[in-house]
């Protein structure tokens, strides 16, 4: 940790790199997180897990399933580390990890001190947290502390999970793995960083107007009254699904994912992503934001 504080020049903290697209040769030092270790404690109503940030997320989910500890089953097969989970507030099939985060421990690079922040102070939102704003580039997450209640209800309302008949946590886990394997390309075999864009959330009036013109658009009302649209649907409607530019392809089974299909360069990625985003903007009047982190020569870049 102290060596981190003593690094001269810029550096970028990487977990497994599963949500970062390196679009140019970065001039600084890439710091890889290899911290490991899981401790489990049990109280009357909850399991308490303390997990080092370099642990693999999916391995943690599977470890919990093997011990019949439920809660994470909808989040199976999400690539990346445990430390990255709170940054992005990873989510899938109706569940976000923030529901289980009791606290996050990090090394404050500016202060040179170890800090613990409570889950309810992390400003969690849809793919968002304090670690992407105030604490960006400043917090090296070392440990995530989870509280998993022993009594909870499985979340099975989302998409194909609703077809499960009286499932248990292992059925949900298996179904999520099956759905993800069928739709999403495995980054071990074809380079990709999952959803390239966030699903856009727009004001209700604007959403009503869009839905008048495109009544089939999948739209999800949010707690604050805004409406979330499915970016994959918007991109597909613009005709990009299955098409490619340079070495980048818009995945034929899930338009929200861009893959490195044939020796893509960083500039191919940016050019294609900008073209998609401009086309969606002109057809629907909706601005897409990148969900992935784009690392350029001097640090993170915007689309
Ligand atoms: N859709 C299309 N065409 C496509 C893709 C999707 O019409 O090419 C439609 C689907 O038919 C569905 C809707 O869009 O009606 C939503 O699709 P899906 O259930 O596949 O989910 P998503 O909104 O595209 C989000 C997350 C995924 C997560 C899934 C399941 C974001 C940016 N992505 O995708 O997360 O696995 O929901 O919960 O929120 C990731 O973050 O990397 C990721 C893969």
Sign of CA dihedral 212, 285, 256, 176: negative
Distance CA 96, CA 84 (A): 13
**Catalytic residue among 18, 98, 195, 277, which?**
195
Phi and psi at 103, nearest 5°, equal -160, 165
- Minimum CA distance residue for ligand 1 atom 32: 198
Write down the residue that tokens 């897409």 correspond to.
Answer: 288
Q: Reply yes or no on whether 55 is catalytic.
A: no
Q: Is the residue at 1 inside a domain?
A: no
Q: Reply yes or no on whether 291 is catalytic.
A: yes
| Burial of residue 52 (number of CB atoms within 10 Å: 0-12, 13-18, 19+) | buried
In tens, the pLDDT along 36-95 reads: 999 999 999 999 999 999 999 999 999 999 999 999 999 999 999 999 999 999 999 999
Distance CA 289, CA 281 (A): 11
In tens, the pLDDT along 281-301 reads: 999 999 999 999 999 999 999
- Compute the distance from residue 117 Cα to the ligand 1 centre, in Å: 30
Distance CA 100, CA 102 (A): 6
Q: How many domains does the chain fold into?
A: 2
pLDDT-derived band at 3, boundaries 50, 70, 90: low
Phi and psi at 57, nearest 5°, equal -60, -50
* Same domain for 141 and 43: yes
C-beta neighbour count of 88 within 10 angstroms: 22
Q: Reply yes or no on whether 153 is catalytic.
A: no
Q: Is the residue at 21 inside a domain?
A: no
* Same domain for 160 and 233: no
Q: What is the pTM of this model?
A: 0.95
* Same domain for 164 and 59: yes
Domain coverage including residue 106 = 33-173
Contact 255, 232 (CB under 8 A): yes
In tens, the pLDDT along 145-191 reads: 999 999 999 999 999 999 999 999 999 999 999 999 999 999 999 99
């Amino acid at each position: 940790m102290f060596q981190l504080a003593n690094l001269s020049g810029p550096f970028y903290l990487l977990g497994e790199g599963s949500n970062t697209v390196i679009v140019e040769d970065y001039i600084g030092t890439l710091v890889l997180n290899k911290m490991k270790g899981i401790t489990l404690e049990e109280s009357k109503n909850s399991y308490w897990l303390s997990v080092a940030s370099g642990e693999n997320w999916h391995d943690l989910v599977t470890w919990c399933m093997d011990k019949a500890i439920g809660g994470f089953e909808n989040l199976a097969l999400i690539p990346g580390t445990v430390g990255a989970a709170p940054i992005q507030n990873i989510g899938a099939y109706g569940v976000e990890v923030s529901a289980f985060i009791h606290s996050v421990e990090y090394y404050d690079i500016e202060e040179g001190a170890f800090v613990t922040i409570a889950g309810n102070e992390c400003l969690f939102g849809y793919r968002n947290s304090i670690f992407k704003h105030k604490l960006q580039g400043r917090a090296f997450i070392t440990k995530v502390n989870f509280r998993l209640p022993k009594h909870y209800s499985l979340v099975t309302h989302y998409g194909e999970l609703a077809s499960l008949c009286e499932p248990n946590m292992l059925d949900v886990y298996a179904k999520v793995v099956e759905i993800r394997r069928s739709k999403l390309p495995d980054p071990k075999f074809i380079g990709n960083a999952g959803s390239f864009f966030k699903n856009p959330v727009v004001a209700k009036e604007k959403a009503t107007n869009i839905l008048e013109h495109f009544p089939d658009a999948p739209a999800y009302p949010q707690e604050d009254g805004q409406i979330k649209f499915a970016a994959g649907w918007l991109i597909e409607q613009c005709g990009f699904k299955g098409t490619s530019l340079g070495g980048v392809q818009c995945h034929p089974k899930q338009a929200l994912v861009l893959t490195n299909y044939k020796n893509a360069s960083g500039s191919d990625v940016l050019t294609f992503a900008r073209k998609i985003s401009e086309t969606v903007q002109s057809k629907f009047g909706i601005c897409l934001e990148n969900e992935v982190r784009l690392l350029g020569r001097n640090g993170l870049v915007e689309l």
